[in-house]
Chains A and B, each alone.
Chain A
Amino acid sequence: QKEVEQNSGPLSVPEGAIASLNCTYSDRGSQSFFWYRQYSGKSPELIMSIYSNGDKEDGRFTAQLNKASQYVSLLIRDSQPSDSATYLCAVKEAAGNKLTFGGGTRVLVKP
């Protein structure tokens, strides 16, 4: 069974600092990777997608991908209290269209 692993946290960061979230996956052939943000009691919302090795920036968010190491990360710069949420890493299977989700990392941004 394909696996996606995340540190459950909580990851506590002071306001204005950088939050760094990590994700590893087992399906070596995977080509599509996603980060979702989920507030407590709400459904996940897409933050970033990344398909190529390297960095991809969108506003305060940067996704990093290293397929050789089977590793995806998300950086949140200038963290705000509104960034306090659970962040889910999702990996599309190599053969098929399903996403496998990690257990999520809970982030707490303290003012």
Chain B
Amino acid sequence: DGGITQSPKYLFRKEGQNVTLSCEQNLNHDAMYWYRQDPGQGLRLIYYSQIVNDFQKGDIAEGYSVSREKKESFPLTVTSAQKNPTAFYLCASSFPQVYPGYTFGSGTRLTVV
């Protein structure tokens, strides 16, 4: 079955550590997105990529980095520069030429300990 997989489901980070969240899709979607969701809040865009080897900053990119070396993969690194990283992170993908809506992964819940 086609889908979008995020791992791990839960992640704990110590102060000063970088951590990487995985996002893989087998939907042959061109575009991929990372959103952050805080409790009781909507989704805020961190980074997005329309094609391989290209990505753009979203509204809250500071303290995050991404890569898009393969069409299927769009990992997100939460760096030590992100001072308040505890949140629910959602990866999404879309095939804008066919349908503009997103398919979401199941999310990663990151907690600073």
Q: A42 vs B45: C-alpha distance in the bound complex, in angstroms?
A: 18
Contact of A97 (CB < 8 Å), options: B42, B50, B90: B50
Q: A103 vs B35: C-alpha distance in the bound complex, in angstroms?
A: 13
A84: min CB distance to chain B, Å? 15
Q: Which of B14-71 contact A (CB under 8 A)?
A: 31, 33, 35, 40-43, 45, 48, 50, 58-59
Q: How many A-B residue pairs have CB under 8 A?
A: 51
Counting contact residues on chain B (CB < 8 A from A), the size range is 20 to 34
Main secondary structure of the interface of B (DSSP, over half): strand
User: Which one of A44-52, A56-64, A65-73 is at the B interface?
Assistant: A44-52
- The reply on A74 being an interface residue by CB < 8 A is no
Chain A residues close to B by CB (< 8 Å): 1, 4, 6, 8, 32, 34, 41-46, 49, 88, 90, 92, 97-104
